[in-house]
Amino acid sequence: MVRTEISLFLKNAPGELGKLSSLFGTEGINIDALMIQDASGYVQELFKARGKSLKRIASVASYNSMRKDSAEFALIRLLVSQTDKAIDLLSKHDYLFDIMPVIAIDLENRPGALAEATTRFGEEGVNINYVYGSVSSSDEKCLFVFSPEDIELASKIFAE
């Protein structure tokens, strides 16, 4: 199913994730899935994309500064229970974030389930940019989040 992922930059410092998750928790917003990575890899990909298809939006000096500063930040990707409310909250608190559609699939928590899902993507010619998952317990289904290159085609594969 298509869901909206929130990607945001968070200072890579003790307590920052606690502040963010407390902000959501206080407002009754559940974090359904979460991935955290060093922001420098994301910034490198952004530079590649800007060079290929988009106009430069900042000076070379600004990009070089962003590249250096990106190591001080973490890129957090997450799905939440109340996306619109979370977006309003992030805006109010001056977080730098973006949203994009992703495919979120509940998979059986058993060996081979991820292989079956990713094989279906491959058979339909859909490349996956990244994936992350969330598991509650061995008795429950797993939530896996896929960022495919072709969201429309990917959404048809698992429309059930």
Spatial strand order of the sheet with 128-135 comes to 31-38, 73-80, 2-11, 96-107, 142-148, 128-135
Specify whether domain 2-157 bears CATH 3.30.2130.10. Answer: yes
Euclidean distance between CA atoms 66 and 55, whole angstroms: 17
Structural domain boundaries in the chain = 2-157
| pLDDT tens digits, one per residue of 90-103 | 999 988 889 999 99
Q: Residue 80 phi/psi, 5° resolution?
A: -125, 165
User: Are 27 and 89 spatial neighbours (Cβ–Cβ below 8 Å)?
Assistant: yes
Q: Regarding predicted confidence, which is higher, 42 or 30? A: 30
| pLDDT tens digits, one per residue of 14-31 | 899 999 999 999 999 999
User: Which residues are 11's β-sheet partners?
Assistant: 73
Which residues are within 8 A (CB) of 135 and not within 5 positions of it... i.e. 6 or more apart? Answer: 109, 142, 143
End-to-end CA distance of the chain: 9
Distances (CA, A) of 121 to 47, 84, 109, 150: 27, 29, 19, 10
pTM for the full predicted model = 0.76
